[in-house]
């Protein structure tokens, strides 16, 4: 294992020299390494699309380094749970990344062969994020003021893009992602505007002819866009915008959500002609909806439409599995069994909590503000409901979660960890930290889908 970051740099330089001596036409080797400060897990995952290329362990100094004998040029993601970012490899690139898990995106710096284009991509990402965070109020503007504002911010980022493209002289393949990161940020705002303007002001936005011309410029069936987050964010905005105007309106929120999401399925079916891409998009829509809505009747209506449109009939279909898991979590059912361990890493049986109502909530050391909020909420609830059990389930993979518990003010919580979070995710349909499960005194489910941090949560315990 390597003991200093300088060692990684030396190895990187040597790798470039060695590669230069080979037959470059047939050599697709590449190197990837780096250092993670304040790591959350003891590994980094490199993926392309949904396919994991390698799980790379951190050494005792929180560094990693790996050589790939053959790595296809293109866009990859590197993940250090729960965060991820993109990295682009040209042929024979040798890249090091330095990051701090406490400030993931802001801290990322690349070095080595291929560093300049990757540092540009990160800078453009941060510019887009800052612009997105500053754009909250623009959707209340009238059309002329709105379009002037988004064009002004786009021009600044476009100038940054053009300057770097000329200076770095990157490939056309890389330019595809650089251009689309820039454009989809603009397109997403245009899709948000009509329905957010109406929602916030109560007035229908007056849009000129040709407002949606950008839609015809997008190759929706390009597989390179399928796992590209700027495109997926745009697609969500577009589907929401279109479904808002096509879906059946209802005064019932759940009914409106059902109608809107069924409409999204049908819009996606008409937009995407590539079968595999269409199935993936339908899965994305279904996944988001099923986690929002836990009405068995509505879920069945939604799934019926999903089955008609999706050609994915695989028995391992994640959507069908999620729908089945949600059905298993209906009121009165027994909570499906999963393995939980206590602070001493000993198995804990939830049957031990029987005899009292029990609240199960989830946390991770990666989101301290969320857990502090939950901890404060439980402190207050314990005074109101001293006979209720509160179980905090940690979802981290590393076992040092116990040290975080020692600093908490509320001591009346049973602290456990999910030894296999994937099993918890599948059996309990847990895909967000805000999820809370409430059990009756006999261990059956009282409410499988509630939220501890909601203002009205205490009503569940009365």
Answer whether residue 405 shows pLDDT above 80.
Answer: no
Q: What pLDDT does 117 receive?
A: 96
CA-CA distance, 153 to 45, in Å (whole number)? 34
* Residue 412 banded pLDDT, cuts 50, 70, 90: confident
Contact 105, 99 (CB under 8 A): no
Distance of CA 188 to the CA centre of its chain: 17
Q: What is the DSSP string of 165-210?
A: HHHH---HHHHHHHHHHHHHHHHHHHHHHHHHHHHHHSS-----TT
Q: What pLDDT does 253 receive?
A: 73
Answer whether residue 16 shows pLDDT above 50.
Answer: no
CA-CA distance, 389 to 414, in Å (whole number)? 8
Average pLDDT over residues 170-186: 96
Dihedral sign for Cα 421, 424, 427, 428, please: negative
Average pLDDT over residues 305-333: 84
Q: What pLDDT does 29 receive?
A: 84
Average pLDDT over residues 37-65: 91
CA-CA distance, 142 to 207, in Å (whole number)? 10
Backbone angles phi, psi at 133, to 5 degrees: -70, -30
In angstroms, the Cα distances linking 59 to 35, 63, 319 are: 9, 5, 37
pTM for the model: 0.80
Answer whether residue 247 shows pLDDT above 90.
Answer: no
* Upper half-sphere CA count for residue 267 (Cβ side, 13 Å): 21
Answer whether residue 323 shows pLDDT above 90.
Answer: no
CA-CA distance, 327 to 449, in Å (whole number)? 11
């Amino acid at each position: 294992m390597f003991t200093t970051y300088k060692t990684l740099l030396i190895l990187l330089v040597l790798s470039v020299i060695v590669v230069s001596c080979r037959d470059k036409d047939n050599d697709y080797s590449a190197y990837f390494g780096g250092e993670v400060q304040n790591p959350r897990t003891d590994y980094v995952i490199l993926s392309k699309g949904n396919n994991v290329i390698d799980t790379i362990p951190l050494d005792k100094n929180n560094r990693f380094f790996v050589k790939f004998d053959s790595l296809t040029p293109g866009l990859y993601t590197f993940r250090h749970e729960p965060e991820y970012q993109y990295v682009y490899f040209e042929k024979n690139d040798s890249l090091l990344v330095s990051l701090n898990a406490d400030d993931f995106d802001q801290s990322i710096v690349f070095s080595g062969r291929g560093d300049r284009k990757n540092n540009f991509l990160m800078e453009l990402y941060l510019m887009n994020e800052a612009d997105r965070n500053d754009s909250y109020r623009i959707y209340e503007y009238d059309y002329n003021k709105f379009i002037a504002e988004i064009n002004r911010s786009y021009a600044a980022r476009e100038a940054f893009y053009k300057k770097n493209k000329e200076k770095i002289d990157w490939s056309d393949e890389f330019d595809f992602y650089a251009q689309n990161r820039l454009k989809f940020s603009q397109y997403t705002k245009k899709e948000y505007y009509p329905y957010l303007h109406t929602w916030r002001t109560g007035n229908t936005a007056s849009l000129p002819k040709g407002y949606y011309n950008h839609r015809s410029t997008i190759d929706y069936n390009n597989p390179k866009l399928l796992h590209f987050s700027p495109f997926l964010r745009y697609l969500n905005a577009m589907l929401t915008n279109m479904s808002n105007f096509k879906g059946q309106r209802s005064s019932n929120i759940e009914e409106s959500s059902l109608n809107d999401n069924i409409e999204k399925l049908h819009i996606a079916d008409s937009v995407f002609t590539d079968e595999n891409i269409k199935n993936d998009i339908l899965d994305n829509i279904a996944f988001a909806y099923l986690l929002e809505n836990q009405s068995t009747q509505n879920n069945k209506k939604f799934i019926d439409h999903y089955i008609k449109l999706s050609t994915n009939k695989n028995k391992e279909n994640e959507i069908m599995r999620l729908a089945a898991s949600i059905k298993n979590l209906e009121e009165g059912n027994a909570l499906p069994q999963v393995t939980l361990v206590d602070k001493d890493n000993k198995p804990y049986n939830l049957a031990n909590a029987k005899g009292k109502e029990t609240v199960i909530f989830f946390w991770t050391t990666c989101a301290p503000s969320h857990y502090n909020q939950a901890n404060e909420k439980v402190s207050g609830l314990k005074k109101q409901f001293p006979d209720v059990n509160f179980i905090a389930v940690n979802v981290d993979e590393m076992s040092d979660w116990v040290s975080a518990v020692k600093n908490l003010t509320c001591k009346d919580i049973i602290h456990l960890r999910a030894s296999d979070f994937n099993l918890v995710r599948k059996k309990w349909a847990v895909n967000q930290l805000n999820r809370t499960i409430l059990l009756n005194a006999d261990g059956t489910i009282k409410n499988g889908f509630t939220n501890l941090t909601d203002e009205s949560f205490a009503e569940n315990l009365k």
